[in-house]
Chains A and B, each alone.
Chain A
Amino acid sequence: MSLLAFQTALARLIVEPDFRDAVRGDGAAALPGPLTALEASRLVTIAGDRGLDMNRTLHKGFRLGKLRALLPLTCALLRPARLAREVAAFWQANPPASFSFLPEALEFCDFLARRELRSVYLAEVLAYERATLELERARLGPTPPQSVRFQHDPVRLLGTLAAGRRPRSVPPRPCLLLGSKGGDEPVHWTLVDAVSPLARYDRAHAADLMAA
């Protein structure tokens, strides 16, 4: 039992700077039990070890790397400084609980959406990447259809970001992207213009989707 508490505290020393600082300041008194005297002594020593900070750097790099891999366009749109601020605020409230970090990426999408950041394209890019992750997550089960409403040309917007460039003056194009996925096939997106839907979708169907 105490080994479990020891490992939890060791992990928290890396993940939670406030906890690390409390242990540095208050010693064993800041440690939750049950711990043996040896375990408590070890944790207090480790809290003051420079190597712990290196582990935190590596931990943040790993966790950020997962978000960048799963949400590449959103991360590119936010730019490094803003991304770092938002990620830090997100991590403050969200311990790294998930195994694959796909659920964490979805939570980060919801977190960003709630922040209502001033960015012309963020809501659309975020919704697109969130829908993609939902399709990935549902790969083995019944796949709920995903539709993402765009106000700007998604081909231009997403293509520019995917090419590593910042989108500027993307022309308006009210439309829907409809995402589907069959079995372990790649995600397939279809663009449905609000004004002139693709031939494969009749107007009534498109209108239903727009109203959804």
Chain B
Amino acid sequence: MRSPTLTLPKLGVGLAYQAPLAPLLAAAGPELDYVEVVPDILWTDLGRTAEPRYIDDRAGRDALEQASRCRPVVAHGIGLSIGSAGAFDAAHVAQVERWRRRLGFPWHSDHLAFHLAEHGDAPMNVGITLPLARDRQSIELLVPRIRTVQQRVPVPFLLENNVYYFDIPGCEMDEPTFLNTLCRESGCGLVLDLHNVYTNARNHGFDAGALVAELELEHVGEIHVAGGMELDGFYLDAHSDTIPDPVWSLLEWTLPRCPNLGGVTFELFGSWFDSVGNARITADLRRLRALWTQALQPAVPRRVLAEAA
């Protein structure tokens, strides 16, 4: 089964919103085309049994409404836990839709993972994205849920390839096959997080470029890039630095091969803003913008090149 063509506006280069980055966002020039926000920071979720369940955060709402007047705002959620076996959180989806209507997200995304489990009768929030087994069972769990999201939030929905520090052994599929199958069968797009691919490749000893080359890149609606750090023998997807050279190389290869790409987003946690510095962040945004512009150029037919020579 082929998914319908992913149709996203070509936004360009985005920066993931964090409150300490607000001055940078306010001062940014044409190198920045959109802002990506984790919508979950815009509200407090008191739990599924609470009434009312969600409390909106006024400061966050004001900041994002201000940002949305200057640039498009794209949503990248962390709260859906779409792979949780226990329950699918339709109220969370409704909350995302409520904020889409308010901020006009042209697309939205979440993580291909789970973080909510159940222990006894109580929900358990691990707070980090845990991997799903790359099995047919997971595909069958995810596809109807993705379709529900697509029905209830009428803009394209993307899922991000996960970072994992342990893998689930004995999976039926490798990662590209799993991602390709999921996108094909569900019609969802992919947030291809190249820093996640790089992190997994470093920690688990595989070739990041070979993995990306196996992906059906027409499913990629957005690319994420970031920097990380070493800790206790692991390389972490810490969003703690500018983009490392191997991720730039992955991006340079991947970006022109994604025909349905809407944007490339740079992620940096706000707590690292001071140590990384405005100048290095801006330099990365400009380099991303140059790559984006280059990738949008129509390919020059070989015949024209030959004539020019």
On A, residues with C-beta under 8 Å from B are: 3-4, 6-8, 10-12, 14-15, 38, 41-42, 45-46, 49-55, 57-59, 62-63, 66, 95-103, 136-137, 139-141, 184-186
Contacts of B118 in A (CB 8 A): 4, 8
Query: Cβ of B126 and Cβ of A14 under 8 Å apart?
Result: yes
Partner of A51, one of B79, B141, B165: B165
Say yes or no: A38 contacts B170, CB within 8 Å: yes
CB–CB B46/A99 < 8 A: yes
**Interface residues of B, CB < 8 Å — how many?**
42
User: Which 6 A-B residue pairings sit nearest by Cβ, starting from the closest?
Assistant: A51-B166, A51-B165, A62-B127, A11-B117, A3-B85, A49-B166
Q: How far is the CB of B20 from chain A (nearest CB, A)?
A: 13
Binds A, one of B8-16, B231-239, B273-281, B285-293: B231-239
Interface of A is mostly: helix
Q: A29 to B84: give the CA distance in the assembly, Å.
A: 24
Whether the Cβ atoms of B170 and A103 lie closer than 8 Å is no
Residues of B within 8 A of A (CB): 44-48, 52, 55-56, 58, 79, 84-86, 114, 116-119, 122-128, 130, 133, 137, 141, 164-170, 203, 231-234, 236
Q: Across the interface, do B117 and A41 meet the contact criterion of CB distance under 8 Å? A: no
Contacts of A63 in B (CB 8 A): 127
Among B45, B85, B232, the residue within 8 A (CB) of A99 is: B45
Q: Knowing that A7-B117, A51-B203 touch, tell me 13 more A-B residue pairs with CB under 8 angstroms.
A: A4-B117, A8-B117, A11-B126, A11-B130, A41-B170, A42-B133, A46-B166, A50-B234, A51-B166, A53-B232, A55-B128, A137-B46, A140-B52
- Pick from B55, B79, B116, B128: contact of A139, CB below 8 A: B55
Specify which of A4, A14, A102 is in contact with B86 (CB 8 Å cutoff): A4
A48 CB, min distance to chain B CBs, angstroms:
10
The winner among B86, B137, B169 for most chain A CB atoms within 10 A is B169
Complex contact B125–A96 (CB within 8 A): yes
B128 contacts across to A, CB distance below 8 A: 14, 55, 58-59, 62
* 13 A-B residue pairings within 8 Å (CB atoms): A4-B118, A7-B117, A11-B124, A14-B126, A54-B236, A58-B165, A62-B128, A95-B124, A97-B124, A99-B47, A103-B47, A136-B55, A186-B58
CA of A182 to CA of B183, assembled, Å: 46
